[in-house]
Amino acid sequence: MKEMSKEYALAIFTLGTETSREDVIQDSLQIVLSVFRGQPEYQEFLMCPGVPLDARLAGIREAFSPVACEEVVSFLELLCRRGRLALLETCVTQYQEMLQTLRNKKVVKVTSAVPLTAEEQTRLQTKLEQNGQQVILSCSVDAGLIGGMIVEMDGGIIDGSLKSRLKQVKEVVSQ
User: In this structure, how many other beta carbons lie within 10 angstroms of the beta carbon of residue 115?
Assistant: 10
Determine the average pLDDT of the residues in 124-147.
86
Residue 97 is predicted with a pLDDT of 87
Residue 92 and residue 42 in one domain? yes
Residues spanned by the domain of 148: 104-173
Looking at the predicted structure, is the pLDDT value of residue 162 above 70? yes
> What is the pTM assigned to this prediction?
0.62
Which is higher by pLDDT, 116 or 103? 116
Distance CA 128, CA 83 (A): 39
Residue 1 is predicted with a pLDDT of 62
Name the most confidently modeled range: 23-32, 91-100, 139-148: 23-32
Residue closest to 134 by CA, chosen among 124, 121, 125, 147: 125
Q: How many domains does the chain have?
A: 2
- Whether the CB-CB separation of 110 and 149 falls below 8 Å is answered with yes
Task: Decide which of 69, 99, 129 is a domain's last residue.
Answer: 99
CATH number at residue 48: 1.10.520.20
55-102, pLDDT tens digit by residue?
A: 999 999 999 999 999 999 999 999 999 999 999 999 999 999 888 888
Residue 77 and residue 126 in one domain? no
Residue 7 and residue 79 in one domain? yes
Which is higher by pLDDT, 57 or 168? 57
Residue 59 and residue 113 in one domain? no
Rounded to the nearest 10°, the torsion over CA 19, 22, 27, 29 is 90
